[in-house]
Chains A and B, each alone.
Chain A
């Protein structure tokens, strides 16, 4: 009896994301001790809101990385989402229609990346790098570099509901859906199989091309959605929205245990990864440490997290 109990405690500490979760807890504890304001409900909500933009996209980014790919275009899709929706609405398109259009266009463009990756057999790094340039050019064309005002009922996406920002709800809902899809559906298993060994996956009757295309399309949609939310929050669509986010998204996934060679990772890990990035940003502000140290720390955290994961991986037998 005591034996089985012991085992279950060990099991709890042994789940894949335990390492990063412990890192996150320690990080919170250290910052909280140095500045107790950190643990204020308001501050925690603030952190969550700050990383919700990355968190939403990172769900897609996680899928992409698990299939063995990478997506560098998410930042410009986010900018496209923000500017595109503001532009459409300023042209008189009803907000809800504009939202659907923007998400659909982003999805189509993401699908194009996917199709090129599978049909021309180009490296996803190159294809999404190209797509990143194309989308940021398009965004610039739409706005001429000038922010476009955004005032309509979709602004609620950037507001609060029962004192909690709507973007947090959106992130949590998308995380939960992503988690269920990835871990509990046949499609999710196919995503892992494709990343683990595409040839075996194909011989096991999986439509590898379809799976790969789908993840790029999904990520583009999520990136655009994240852009819309940011736009709603700022009351304007700005070209600079989302710039540099692609690397934050990849960092969140890597910290959270997604293997860049594919086949491994989880949405829970991605969430923790995004949270670590958010906590570091917030903590450095609270502790009044210069921003340059913040980026240095993020760099170190990425390496530490991946090293820890690697060691755990080598040790683990299951």
Chain B
């Protein structure tokens, strides 16, 4: 079955599954099989922000005053985040658009991926502000072994799915010999399994991997350092919260069988593999924490505490997709992080109040005192 950018068949898109049904033809949103994706689109659009609106002028001075091992922590995180958003800015589109079958989900995927490009642009904004030669930092992302290890684990499921869908679209079903890779079997169950595992690994990427960097960014900000960066990370974290809800919905809808009965069987079949994806990612992130703090810790955060946070947040995320939790850490070792992760708007109640401040002109880089109420290290 080859992909068509405008499927000429007549069919009822309300009866299609999320993926591997008909290619979408008319982009219509007056009716939705899964209204949640339409709501996610609206929410994401209401979050729109531009990195340049956040003033980073004091971050430059702060950065110069950081100790060397703190600069290592800060820059390594930034590199890792740049890697993750480079992947996320394209992969949902490349991997999922050729196989999606619902207009509202198709548009959610595009909206989601677009917002990742804003995140990528914000890293350039941050890096430009703190160093004279951004190239050195960007180049290291493809050469630094600790980072490239991460790249392998975040892209492997996407790449496998893309490869299989390419084969499916050009050759159809069957077993095909791909030079350098051997025999690859293409069948609907195999494709669906590759998809399910991909969505799980994306959920892990957005719901666990990112939070390690978030914790470090906010630990600096707790010491009133790199506060412009923290403002940007806050906006990114708000977007990521929505993205992880998107993948949780996909996973839960698939597992429930409400969308595609065959998908429910596959979800049940690979429950163990999915658990393993969560556990492995948590272990990799703990390793990463060790790398971050190899030359010294920072006030309020060290490899051990960050490792516990990884375990805790992994438990939270596993529970959210109906998996049994697997780590002993039942309490958040850095509860102050939540006060940073929360969107400011809830503190003033009506949601429009804050969002408009991001749209109109520059956000003030000076956090006011009330931002620091109620938590300490």
A, B from the same assembly: no
